[in-house]
Amino acid sequence: MLNQSPSLDPVFHALADPTRRVMVERLTQGPASVSELARPLDMSLSAVMQHLQVLESTGLVTSHKEGRVRTCRIEPMVLQSAEDWIARTRAQWERRLDRLAEFLADESDGERSK
């Protein structure tokens, strides 16, 4: 059985929503309060909080409350784990293409030398 990474499940699930991707993109520019995260989004603060909870449950985002302001930050290592899986998987496919190209080149050489 190939390697399975259960911890990637919630990360890819979190990224499967355009609102949550917008929140992640915003946080790459620096920490933001929940109100700042909500500003470009056409939804209630409580809906934004629900998306934030999904992001926090994966570890993609952490938040810290001081007084009445909750400040959110991105955790790029978690994003990196998802990128690594995709990059590794695509690299496997490219290696296969390279082997296929080599095989076809050898075949072609073999035909010419007959």
Q: Does 49 bind a copy of itself (CB under 8 A)?
A: no
* Residue 10 interacting with a copy of itself (CB under 8 A): yes
- Both tokens of residue 34? 């929940």
Minimum CB distance to a copy of itself, residue 30 (Å): 6
Distances (CA, A) of 80 to 8, 47, 77: 11, 26, 5
Enter the tokens of residue 14.
């979190």
Does residue 92 touch a copy of itself according to CB under 8 A?
Answer: yes
Give me the count of residues in the chain: 114
User: Is there a contact between 4 and 53 (Cβ–Cβ < 8 Å)?
Assistant: no
Residues in touch with a copy of itself (CB under 8 A): 1-6, 8-13, 15-18, 21-22, 24-30, 40-41, 74, 76, 79-80, 82-83, 85-87, 89-90, 92-94, 96
